[in-house]
Amino acid sequence: MNFIRFKLEQFRFSISSRCPSLQLLEKHAPLKIKKLKINECSVTINKTSYTIGIRNSLQTAEDLASGVDLDQFGGRALEQVLVQEPDEFLIRGIDYFDFQYKAEKMRIKEENEKITKMDDSEEKKRARGVLVRRFAMYQVNCLQSLAQKTKSREPISMVQIPFSQFLHFQTTDHLEVLYYHRKTHEALKYLLIKLLGGRGQIAVNKFHISAKGILRIPRLKLKMLNLKIGGNKIDEIFATLLENGIIDVSSFPLQSFHTDGCTYRRYPEMRSAKMIILECTYFGPRLLWSGADAHPRVHYTKMSENAYNGVTRLATDWILNAPPIGTIVSFGYSAWNFCNLQIKKIKKIEGAIVAKQPELGVIFRINDTTELHVFHEKNPKKADHWNLVLTIRKPSQLQ
């Protein structure tokens, strides 16, 4: 067992599938994974990605990735009532399709405008053929979704387009076409069982899960340090993970909880994380500090021009009503000029003490025991990205 436990996870998966005599031993050996990412059509374990997609007979090599197909998101079973099996948990994110249809319609319109401007007649003809097939799939998907939403009304007559479709399975360096009609959510569940099923507790450094379609996951037991939830129905996903024991209770408090919105307030298990990472910057950072449950360590990963005033107001709020010493909030910028513009705005706040060395930042004396320190730093994980940091600390001598 000691020999197996220190082998790379891909070697271990291969042993389990090819050597039945060693399968039980391999499954019982503790498994540690740095990164586990699951969504409605793919599984990523460390640096290896397993993707399940859809091909259909209307597609060619040129437009393999084009078009919106409901099955790509596990939603092809619109006519089917899905029941959660005892060995799984089930999440439906079908609401996402409305957005997908609108986005695809816009892409088709833009592509049509490009084709109209083409000079080469042969190239124009080829591109037009691709677009016609793409639009046909778009119509089929829209009609199927509409039929599902209006089941209680007059039945919708659909033009039957002659096409067949089948799965393709792709790993990081391999693509295989599977000529059978398993639903993507069924295929993904089967893949997860083969890779991770039958094990005890799995140690995961970072677990990322999202669902924009139907997601069926076997009952796993994960002890994790960092959790990221994206896509639709973040609350529902977290509740499902928690209530079904997917997240082992020993995982709390998490090192970090990463989400697309401000959902973290609802669950104490989320709020107990040592760091909250948010991508929802549209509403402004002040929302985080509007109550007694304000979190002491928050990072925004994607800041935009719309949020400049919000960051400045947050600094002003802290000067007037400082949170506890040790509170830190940081903001990620994709370029230095965006970060620098925010620093210039903060320097204009009354009472700013600017250091001679720019890297030391700006200090605001709040009272005899507290000050606000604002400074910038390079993002250690992303080249050319910068973080702006606001922290409440004890007074120090500015140099």
pLDDT attached to residue 67 = 35
Identify the domain boundary among 154, 184, 214: 184
Q: Give the Cβ contact number of residue 195 at 10 Å.
A: 21
Q: End-to-end distance of the chain based on CA atoms, in angstroms?
A: 57
135 and 12, same domain (yes or no): yes
| pTM (predicted TM-score) | 0.76
**Continuous segment of H or E residues that includes residue 34:** strand 31-39
DSSP string, 237-275: HHHHHHHTTSB-GGGPSPSEEEESSSGGGG-HHHHTSS-
Identify the domain boundary among 184, 205, 232: 184
Q: Give the Cβ contact number of residue 176 at 10 Å.
A: 9
Q: How far apart are CA 52 and CA 31, in angstroms?
A: 24
In a domain, 243, yes or no: no
Pick the closest to residue 353 from 365, 343, 344, 341 (CA basis): 365
In a domain, 300, yes or no: yes
Contact 51, 173 (CB under 8 A): no
Let me know if 114 is exposed, middle or buried by CB neighbors in 10 A (0-12, 13-18, 19+): exposed
Q: Are strands 48-56 and 88-92 parallel, antiparallel or unpaired?
A: unpaired
Contact 130, 62 (CB under 8 A): yes
Identify the domain boundary among 167, 184, 201: 184
In a domain, 242, yes or no: no
167 and 308, same domain (yes or no): no
* pLDDT tens-digit profile, the chain (399 residues): 555 665 566 667 776 767 776 777 777 778 899 999 998 888 999 988 888 877 665 555 444 443 334 444 444 444 456 778 888 888 876 554 555 666 667 777 788 888 888 888 888 888 888 877 777 776 666 666 655 555 545 554 544 545 556 677 788 767 666 666 677 788 889 899 988 988 889 999 999 998 877 788 898 999 999 999 987 778 888 988 998 889 999 999 999 999 876 566 678 888 899 998 887 555 455 545 544 456 889 888 877 666 667 788 889 989 998 889 999 999 898 889 889 999 999 999 999 999 888 778 999 999 999 999 999 999 988 888 999 999 999 997 554
In a domain, 240, yes or no: no
Q: How far apart are CA 102 and CA 92, in angstroms?
A: 20
pLDDT attached to residue 66 = 35
Pick the closest to residue 137 from 102, 103, 161 (CA basis): 161
143 and 291, same domain (yes or no): no
DSSP string, 93-125: -TTHHHHHHHHHHHHHHHHHHHHHT---HHHHH
Q: Which two tokens stand for residue 268?
A: 């104490």
Domain count, the chain: 2
Domain hosting residue 342, numbered range: 281-393
